[in-house]
Structure 1
Amino acid sequence: MSTAADSTPPVRDFVDELAGLAPHGAVSALRAARADATGFTQGSHDALFDPRATGLSLDERLAATSYAAHLSSAPLAAQAYRERLAAQHSAHRTEALALLDQLLTSDAFEIDTATDSGRLAVILAHTRALALLDPHPDQAALLRLKDAKLSTAEIVALSQLVAFISYQVRVVAALRALEATA
């Protein structure tokens, strides 16, 4: 027996958008059956990208996220976060986009934190280390973050952000694989 709830379209979240899931497909139904997991994932996303959050600026968070997704071989996620950064109306958006575009378009481009000690460059260098699975940065890497005026809370927030994006792109990849076989 069909109920009114059965005909209600499922709530779409950012993971659905990244995965390109059919709104009424089998994989969307599977996600709807796991509404808590879906809700917690979206809730984490919303908290990490809340424009009112203190510490790392939204520009810094979006640039780090786009770069982490790029390093995780998730070009659609990298582009989605880059587009969100481009849509910001902030003082540092242009600088963030320029540095991010250099990183996203050139495999040879590296951030040299010895010569480029800008805050965003240091954030992106740390993002790279974390995304490429160096979960135990050396003392020099942590000192560069401190020298760039990142607080301990901001360093922890950056690490959480990179970990979340790693999780998010893997969920999206799994959902795409399921959708391809459904």
Structure 2
Amino acid sequence: MTQTADTTPDVIDLLTGITPGDRLDTLRRHRLQARTHAQQSYLALFEPQAPQPGRFSLADRQAVAAFVAGLHQQPDATAFYNAALAAEGARQARPGVPQAIAAEVVRGAARGPYGNYPPGPLSEEDTAGPAYHVGDAQRAVLGAPLSAALEHAHLLTLHPRDASPAALQALLDAGWRTTEIVTLSQLVAFLAFQIRVVAGLRALAAAPAHTGNQASSETTQA
């Protein structure tokens, strides 16, 4: 049964190890609207109450999420989405997908971000990096649409400077519809946000507690 907003734990709290009443819980309560919107975004992408439009299935969403979390090298997020992928894959009878995703995380690993800016003042920051394509063995397991999604997610995560009409056309050629491409891009962007928030909150958790103006400054960041 799909969980509702009332029963699904706040994922950022879960990944950060926040418990009710602790310092970070108090900080996040000062930005309650932002906290609520972040959780609602997660639910809309991964636990939609209405049937999701298009053919971007929950199983494929979890596969992309596990891949993107792995590229970000955030262990807790990677473990969380890997577990969700395994559970959804079991329900959908899709053997071999978690192993294929894990293999592609290794193949796609890079420091990033890299790519080229349009010619101009920023060109001095151009950084060369390897092109990423799903391996043949994994493509046979994942299929063409999901393989194209991983390649696009890798582009957005590690070399967004190289985003182009040709990259979108590759998705269309693999059978993706425009609305599905929008959802895919939203998912990748949300994960980048979620993982960065978790990293920031973990840094706050590791820092000594402050009082006065410093504590107020922490609140605005959480």
TM band (smaller chain): 0.7 to 0.9
Which residue of the partner structure matches residue 111 of structure 1? Answer: 133
Rate the CA distance shift 1:173–1:132 in 2: closer, same or farther, 3 A: same
Q: Does 1:96 align with 2:97?
A: yes
Aligned partner of 1:132 in structure 2 is 158
SS in 1 for 2:20: coil
1:19 aligns with 2:16: yes
2:27 partner SS: helix
Contact 1:12–1:23 at 8 Å: present in 2 too?
no
- Residue number in structure 1 paired with 2:46: 49
Query: 1:113·1:122 contact (CA, 8 Å) conserved in 2?
Result: no
Aligned to 2:84: 84
Matches within 5 A, 1:25-44: 25-44=22-41
Q: Which residue identity lines up with residue 70 of structure 1 in the other structure?
A: G
- Aligned-pair identity in percent equals 38
* 2:152 pairs with 1:155: no
Aligned length: 171
Counterpart of 1:83, as a letter, is: A
Q: Over aligned residues, Cα RMSD in angstroms?
A: 2.5
TM-score, scaled to structure 2: 0.69
The verdict on how the C-alpha distance between 1:149 and 1:113 changes in structure 2, with shifts beyond 3 A counting, is farther
Letter in 1 for 2:147: A
Q: 1:33: how far off? A: 2.1
Which deviates more from structure 2 when the two are superposed, residues 145-154 or residues 117-126?
117-126
- Report whether the alignment pairs 1:71 with 2:75: no
Amino acid across the alignment from 1:45: Y
1:3 is matched with which residue?
Answer: none
1:164 to partner: Cα distance: 0.4
Any idea what the Cα deviations from partners look like across 1:82-128, whole Å, max 9, x if unmatched?
Answer: 1001011014x3243132121234567x5348995711111101100
1:128-152 superposed Cα distances (whole Å, 9 cap, x missing partner): 0001141552333222211111001
Whether the 8 Å contact between 2:71 and 2:108 is mirrored in structure 1 is no
Find the aligned partners of 2:71 and 2:12 in 1 and give their Cα distance. 18
What residue ranges of structure 2 are gaps of 5+ in the alignment? 1-7, 110-131, 210-222
Residues 22 and 81 (structure 1), Cα distance of their counterparts in 2 relative to 1, 3 Å cut: same
Q: Distance in 1 between matches of 2:160 and 2:9?
A: 33
TM-score computed with the length of structure 1 as normaliser = 0.83
Partner of 1:167: 193
What secondary structure, in the 3-state scheme, does the structure 2 residue paired with 1:54 have?
coil
**Cα displacement (A) at 1:78:** 1.5
Does the residue aligned with 2:95 lie in a helix, a strand or coil? helix
* One-letter identity of the residue aligned with 1:20: G
